[in-house]
Amino acid sequence: MANSSYPIASCWKNGAYVPLGMLAAAVLILMALTAIGGLLGVGAPARPEGLNMSLLSGDLSRVARVAGFTFWQASLSALLSLLVALPVAISFLRRILTSRFKNLNSLSFLAIVMPTTVAVSGLLGVWGQNGVISHLLRAIGANGLSPIYGLGAVLLAHVFFNAPLMLRVFLSGLSSIPAAQWRLAAQWGLSDWQRFKLIEWPVLKPLIPGVVTIVFLLCFTSFSLILMLGGGPGVTTLELSIYTALRFEFDMPMAAFLSLVQLTICTVLVAILARFDATGMAAIAPSYSKRLSQPGDTSHFAVLLDGGVIAAFLLLALAPIASIVVGGISSNLLNVIGWPAFHRALLSSLIIAIASALLATALATLMAAARVRVGSAGKWVFDLAVSLYLAVSAIVLGTGIFVLLRDLVDVFFIAPFILLMANMLVALPFSYRIIQGKMAMLAQSQDKLCSSLDLRGWRRFRLITFPALAPELGFAAGLSAALSIGDMTVIALFGSQQFQTLPWLLYQTMGRYRAEDAAALALLLLVLTLLLFGGFVKGAALLRRRQIDVTD
């Protein structure tokens, strides 16, 4: 096995990336523990009598109520996303991946990389009180939709984001089913239910616990969507309560206490996630189907059922995007492009997104390469270092940094560096899981050959590993850049008139009820996000072809 070929004792001989990866993992763990320590320090002894009296007089029950609602909305969001993604995955497998319409699968991925502030604009444009659906209902004499705020709006937004993510994971799993199994199923004349039970479900079943836990964590730590669509105290999560306590109430002990409550719950969930396949996120990378046509695929009922499921999903996933494009193309577009505030926010967003994407991808690659060399006893260190940042969300990390640095430096002066670091750390778990699975496969298939050719370290990575790993590297970097440029969590804590990003500028514009300017800004942010994501994916592909040509 690959692990026994490179014992830790000889790691310097085989490349410095092993000890460097272990050092990076140790630093990540130390940073997380330091932030947590800062929260513990300010949450307990600062003013114990005031804090305890406050908690005894009602704050503790309020925290319990907020934590309960956060858990409830995350559970509902994950369940609804699963109920949407499963049937859509089966229908896509039958009708999309094996036909000339397979590019529709790529379009469904747009929701995953879309910034939350842009998504809110699109959802309001479709499902809002003055959205497309309301206009259609009024045109036929019915009443328009009610204002889209509250729990229903939050659930809709979470399903919009996370159902496509689950769909990608399920489709990649289903696409890995060997063509021989489909051939046998066709020969035996299996029904739809028999094929699902014997072929599709055994592939989907091990994927569901891990991806549901990840989606639950994403919904549990959701901030921007709750801030913009929550609509009142009854729809308040722990993240939003932390932000309010820190930014508006200046109650540091309460912000620290709320952060620790959230951290405790997320840590338990991450421990549950660790029991499942840690490489599941690699399945969101593109894949191709080997499914062969089956008896019953052409029946009128199956065609109508699949068509209805696919049409409903595309309405959910693509209608908000179309709304953004249509609403953003107006005379205000050129006006927004000329704003000095837009120029400053654009420059800040680009620098932070590109830098955080490169750092997250490089760090994930280093740690993934080191992980396959240290043996089973040492793998947990890398998984723990990365998984901590699923539990230590951006708002908790930002609060911990604020607590630690507030008496040492002006945290608003170093806000760009804090935002860069936070965005990189939040993107790291996704980059690591995308890269690590492929890295482990390459180690098993290439180690013996590379050892016989004496290819090691950087030379091996450049000539052998990079050409094979380039699609995952480009995908991880593009996803990290998209997550970074669309994030509004940390900037909500440290943003000011002197330092803004595009999501924060969009949120402020929407808050001033400048709908046309906000629509134009949302379109610009969407286009920029897609360009960044596509640029990293295509850039990695070009570098791969160039390296292959040079090697040949």
Taking every pair of Cα atoms in the chain, the longest distance, rounded to a whole number of angstroms, is 77
> For position 97, what pLDDT does the model report?
61
How far apart are the C-alpha atoms of 43 and 41, rounded to whole Å?
A: 6
Question: pTM of the full predicted structure?
Answer: 0.81
Q: 12-41+113-324+333-551 has which CATH code?
A: 1.10.3720.10
**HSE of 493, CA atoms in CB hemisphere, 13 A:** 32
Quote the tokens at residue 202.
């055994």
Single-letter code of the amino acid located at 516:
E
Quote the tokens at residue 439.
């890295």
- First-to-last alpha carbon distance for the chain, in angstroms, is 29
Contact 506, 518 (CB under 8 A): yes
Distances (CA, A) of 301 to 196, 297, 306: 17, 9, 9
- pLDDT tens string, the chain, 552 residues long: the values are 344 444 433 343 445 677 888 888 888 888 888 877 777 776 554 444 444 444 445 567 778 888 888 999 999 999 999 999 999 988 888 877 655 556 666 666 777 788 888 888 888 888 887 788 888 888 887 887 777 778 888 899 899 989 988 888 888 778 778 878 888 888 888 887 888 888 889 888 888 888 888 888 888 888 888 888 875 667 788 888 888 887 777 777 777 788 888 888 888 877 777 666 544 555 555 555 566 666 766 778 878 888 899 888 888 888 888 888 888 887 788 888 989 989 999 999 999 999 999 999 999 998 888 888 776 667 778 878 887 787 777 777 877 777 787 778 877 788 888 888 888 988 898 888 888 877 877 777 776 777 777 777 677 777 777 888 888 899 889 989 998 998 888 888 777 777 889 998 888 888 787 878 888 898 999 999 999 999 998 998 898 888 777 665
The pairs formed by 74-78 with CB atoms below 8 angstroms and a separation of 24 or more are 74/216, 74/217, 74/219, 74/220, 74/222, 75/216, 76/155, 77/154, 77/155, 77/158, 77/159, 77/162, 77/215, 77/216, 77/219, 78/162, 78/212, 78/215, 78/216, 78/219
H/E run at residue 230:
none
How far apart are the C-alpha atoms of 300 and 307, rounded to whole Å?
A: 10
Contact 340, 532 (CB under 8 A): no
> For position 291, what pLDDT does the model report?
67
Quote the tokens at residue 153.
């709006």
DSSP 250-266: --HHHHHHHHHHHHHHH
Give the single-character DSSP code of 99: S
How far apart are the C-alpha atoms of 272 and 215, rounded to whole Å?
A: 13
